[in-house]
Amino acid sequence: MSTRLPSPPVHLVTRAAELAAALDAARAAGRRVGLVPTMGALHAGHLSLVERARAECDLVAVTVFVNPLQFGERADLEGYPRTLEADLAMCASAGVDVVFAPPVEEMYPAWPAPVATTVRVGGVAEPWEGASRPGHFDGVATIVTKLFALAGRCRAYFGEKDYQQVAVVRRLAGDLCLPVTVVGCPTVREPDGLALSSRNARLGTAERRAATVLHRALDAGRAALEDGERRPTAVADRMTAVVAAEPLARLDYAAAVDPDDLSVPLVLEDGEPVRLLVAARVGEVRLIDNDAAVPVAPRRAAMAGAAAGGATTVEG
């Protein structure tokens, strides 16, 4: 019988200076640093970021910090799950080297007084989540800037489930000349299509079943593109109709956008990438999802073209 070896211990730090010193020492020894910023309540989606970081870096640091600046509603902040002990166990099993889990006062010394210095990203941060959650991306940009300043030169891994957040962080790092390579990683899903999220734990049984409506809405948007629809508003309407048919869901937005700046094009061109976005409340839990799509000529039109050229086709 084989004996399973215990996971190596994780170096837990709670002070900013200690994190910076640990990562500086790693780089001085010639090691590549990977950073995985999280708010805790870790799940398989987070572990996929760690796995990618482990494959590309020599030292992996995970941050666990529920950032109060990115919550608009106090109840949402208070209700966000905090599971540090379980998070540390998961990090140890995944081979994480350092976990940074600071108290709020370490990141915002005057808390709960208003934070005097914040970071705001324009443009890509303004529509969609930016419009629905005013101030949210200011909070994200502020904490990410602080974490990047502490981490120094590194690769930082973010899940594309929060696609707009990845775009905002990329703009932030580029505009401020931060020595950080931002790596977007694919969304991890449940077998029924629901994107993994720490918020899913707050769904009741009926709400959990209903929550798949977001993924079904994305499927409807993709189907519209496959049918030859090239009007962004019409694609969004298809997605909206799916959410409207679910009694437990209340749509926030559905859109087909440019994947770089998240603007809505006048028309969706064949061969040009599109990002489908959807946000909705399922019960009292707000969920978001997105997926990539590329409009291509409809199969039926392609078959007609082949027939016109003398080819024999069979239509089922």
Q: Which residues belong to the active site?
A: 46
| Contact (CB, 8 A) for 292 and 273 | yes
CA pseudo-torsion sign 24, 176, 53, 45: positive
Distant-in-sequence, close-in-space partners of 7: CB < 8 Å, separation ≥ 6: 89, 92, 93, 95
- Amino acid identity of residue 160, one-letter, is E
Task: For residues 289 and 307, give the distance between their C-alpha atoms in angstroms, rounded to a whole number.
Answer: 39
- Tokens representing 139 are 């909070």
For 100, phi then psi, to 5°, come to -105, 110
Q: Where are the beta strands (DSSP E) in 164-284?
A: 180-185, 249-257, 274-282
For 240, phi then psi, to 5°, come to -60, -40
Q: Where are the beta strands (DSSP E) in 206-301?
A: 249-257, 274-282, 285-293
Task: For residues 251 and 244, give the distance between their C-alpha atoms in angstroms, rounded to a whole number.
Answer: 7
| DSSP summary character for residue 247 | T
- Tokens representing 4 are 């399973």
